Structure 1
Amino acid sequence: MVEQCPVIRFSEIEAAVPTAPGLYEIVTDQGELLKVGISVNLRKRLIQHRQSRQSRLKLKDGGEWSNPSDVVSKQSILAKHLFFSGQVLGYDLQSEAGRQCYLEEKCHILITPTTTRDEARAIERVKEKSGAYRFGGKVRLSC
């Protein structure tokens, strides 16, 4: 039986998240499920999401920043999803600082450590199939 850990803020990652494999869920404080993902090192992966680096979003040759298909995420697909969400609750999600503030001030993380990546992947597949997560699959423009 996999046991879920308590709710964690993005600023608490270093102190509260293990370097073990597992599943993570990013949730707004209002309960909206944003993203589910897995990693062999939960702490490292969640730090990448928290950083939400602008420099890791790359534009394809000849591409346009307004087209999600033209932008490649080199570190955090969450950064790309947020980038194309526009403004949320007064946060400019097209800026690195805006994404970082939004994640810290309006979101939290649920983690489920597992013994293996495969175990985490099996749980992730079930959660992804639910369709409950706002950011899953291909990045799209928000209306």
Structure 2
Amino acid sequence: MTTIRFSEIERYVPALPGLYEIYTDDGEALKVGIGVNLRKRLIQHRRSRQSRLILRAGGDWSNPADVRSTQSILAKHLYFAGSIDGHELTTEAGRQRFLEEHCCIRFRVTASREEARALERVLEAGGTFPFHGRVNRLSPAG
């Protein structure tokens, strides 16, 4: 597995299928995921766009079920975490700064999306990565 910073995605991550893991600099596991195009997927996470978090008609921003993520589920997970280790995550700029300055990515290329998905399922089942599946208000301690 290769480990990089978010600022190094374009330089090191190929546009191929694979698995990625996101950790804080302190080693706290955050998210495991896959992409048919790893580079594109990780760039979407890095952007963490507020405009891609869509509030359901009549919804409430404090209810995860009322907010849909159209690009990066990580943005939604971070938004509802609120903060990790004192880093403000409810804003696009705060999430971007946190990812750029306090997180790293491990990734590996796989032969197919299916192979990546099988690896992802094993890692998710291990319980190490809190940001997978349904987004809840309760998130990693920080």
- Normalising by the smaller structure, the TM-score range is over 0.9
Separation in 2 of the partners of 1:81 and 1:27? 14
Q: CA deviation at 1:8?
A: 0.6
Deviation of residue 137 (structure 1)? 1.4
Q: How does 1:73-84 map to 2 (within 5 A)?
A: 73-84=69-80
- How many residues are paired up? 139
State the 4+ residue runs in structure 1 displaced beyond 4 angstroms: none
Pairing 1:97–2:93 present = yes
In structure 2, which of residues 96, 104, 108 is the aligned counterpart of residue 112 of structure 1? 108
In structure 2, stretches of 5+ residues that fail to align are: none
RMSD value, Cα? 1.0
Map of 1:41 onto structure 2: 37
Distance 1:136 1:108 in 2: 17
* 1:115 Cα deviation after fit: 1.2
Gaps of 5+ in 1: none
Is 1:133 matched up with 2:132?
A: no
- 2:28 corresponding residue in structure 1: 32
- % same residue: 63
AA of the residue aligned to 1:60 = R
